[in-house]
Structure 1
């Protein structure tokens, strides 16, 4: 692909011939509109027009996947599906994530000639790497801060998500820190609520972490949820760093990709990128975008950690999709830009084997909320059960064999195994 063009791969469904639909997409997202207009010269189109680079035909379908589709006169009832690659001149928008999104998505999803559309992948020119520095810490930097190299980073999410006072939270965090956890994050529902303001939370939690570190010699990483308006991001970040905090978290779709890049411009600690709201963009296979495309934009904008859902978890996503998401976070982008995949949602010791067998790597952050905090013998036992299960998975020992050797794992199986979860 030309180094001065962006290539976008789409899954397309249309009642029109695929070639015609692809040209409609290319025109709508560059120089064209629904009719010829003055000034749209051949020279202008050559210089600024999007180009259909390739079409791969897939199976036809007998009904539109999305409402609002208008078929051409004499339509035979078939809806054509295919993968379409369209390239855009970089000079139309420059190395700018906000304006890139207008080009590759824009009004595209509203076209009447399209009955299904999904952005599958992106190829970005080097100019984006010159504009956006990407993750400052990623996998290696996060491991260096925690001094954990030989296993996944293991941790939990504050539960209950909402309602704990700062004092109650501090007691919980100190107890978990003393239990040896690597990482705790705020829930996405809890950032800077009036009942527990962020400044009070930061003061209480950082003090608890320091007390535990003095006792154990290990400092927990805590991701404070600093999600807010852009003018709040800097204040909240500085509040955390000034108190000795070592991680901040943002809900990426709440602050936007430009908000993430804005935070990354001055962040002094890892940015934990949460993807809540992602389901509304991707759950339909006939609409939205794939995580393959999305995670490239998040890494470009500076996410050091990136949520990927969890295998055998509580959400709808298939294990195959989660596995692909884990691998996508570490695939080369401009020669680096690796982000730590964060596996969470319905996780416990019993999901370690599935995660390792699928991802073939221990370079993940594996978080369990209820699966750690609600262990029958307490949170420390929940952490130990996950650590032991991961050790077994990496060494080819089955979960059942691990449970036979370690009662703490057996207790987790009794509580969170399929029978216990039903």
Structure 2
């Protein structure tokens, strides 16, 4: 119930979505069905108060495909707009099954990349995340975590932007400096929206707006809940900062040089 209250406060404050942690499944301290119900209540209450569409990424990842589908069906029956899956721990077959179900039933599917560092962290062994991201686009999903370039999950800027383009563009030209070793034509395969998440907060907003552009999802966990005034003011701060940065960019201002000034002006 406290979890649902925190979600409600963040949504009411101005966030579009809140999300389950990738590790929150159905542990004794928070069973999945109770969590789904309280989060759905938070969604509908915040929607009624703000007049905006809200959502919460309900983590449907489970120990078996059957249990995963049971959770997805329950989420759909609650009328929520989006669910979530850990595609590497769940596996590609399970992920594609869930992606097809979501597509057929009007649900968005948020993909978390939990366990990716075991595979892609070492430079001389394993698989680069670029390959894992392309595999996800083939498997199915609407959002996927893609690093932040800034914040705690910092990635090399050009390399990160290379696989961000591979996720969301239909045609990507060869560019070895960005890690794209051959021209990629996705033809009609739907794109995936990149998600920047991990240690980011309002002061990163100018850089995130400049790096990721409009077709992206920005997630602020500690950057919202860690606000000294509480969860709702944290959400307000994020929203004000983002809208200020987008407006400044559209007016032709230099976000890299003026970012701090833009946010200080907006916070008055």
TM value normalised by structure 2: 0.83
More helix by share: 2
Checking the alignment, whether the CA contact within 8 Å between 2:151 and 2:198 is kept in structure 1 is yes
Find runs of 4+ consecutive structure 1 residues off by over 4 angstroms.
none
The residue correspondences of 1:337-376 to structure 2 (distance < 5 A) are 337-359=190-212, 361-376=213-228
- Does the alignment pair 1:207 with 2:41? yes
Question: Counterpart of 1:310 in 2: which secondary structure?
Answer: coil
What pairs up with 1:87-98 in 2 under 5 angstroms?
none
State which of 261, 264, 267 in structure 2 corresponds to 1:404.
Answer: 264
**Offset at residue 258 of structure 1 (A):** 1.1
Tell me which residue corresponds to 1:168: 2
Note the residue ranges of structure 2 that are not aligned, 5 or more in a row. Answer: 171-185
Q: Secondary structure at the match of 2:39?
A: helix
In structure 2, C-alpha distance between the alignment counterparts of 1:315 and 1:364, rounded to whole Å = 16
Contact 1:389–1:399 under 8 Å retained in 2: no
User: Does residue 303 in structure 1 map to residue 141 in structure 2?
Assistant: yes
Distance in 2, matches of 1:187 and 1:283, equals 21
**Does structure 1 conserve the Cα–Cα contact (< 8 Å) formed by 2:110 and 2:143?**
yes
**Deviation, structure 1 residue 248:** 0.9
Shift, 1:316, TM fit: 5.5
Give the structure with higher Rg (CA).
1
Q: For the Cα contact (< 8 Å) 1:330–1:339, is it kept in 2? A: yes
* Distance in 1 (alpha carbons) for counterparts of 2:96 and 2:205: 32
Distance 1:280 1:317 in 2: 16
Aligned mate of 2:18, from 164, 173, 184: 184
Counterpart-to-counterpart distance in 1, 2:210 and 2:5: 36
Structure 1 equivalent of residue 181 of structure 2 = none
Check if 1:389 corresponds to 2:224: no
The residue aligned with 1:322 is 160
Give the whole-Å Cα distance in 1 for the aligned partners of 2:14 and 2:216.
Answer: 18
Structure 1: runs of 5+ lacking an equivalent = 1-166, 409-422
Alpha-carbon spacing, 1:308–1:363, altered in 2? closer, same or farther (3 Å)? same
By how many angstroms is 1:182 displaced?
0.2
Match of 1:290 among 105, 110, 128: 128
Shift of 1:374: 0.9
1:175 CA drift (Å): 1.5
Alignment of 1:3-18 (within 5 A): none
1:245 corresponds to 2:80? yes
SS in 2 for 1:271: strand
Q: Matches of 1:277 and 1:384 in 2, distance apart?
A: 32
Pairwise CA distance, 1:347? 0.7
What's the C-alpha RMSD, in Å, of the aligned pairs?
Answer: 1.8
The superposition leaves residues 142-190 of structure 1 with CA deviations (integer Å, 9 ceiling, x where unpaired) of xxxxxxxxxxxxxxxxxxxxxxxxx101211221221121011100110
Q: How many residues align?
A: 241
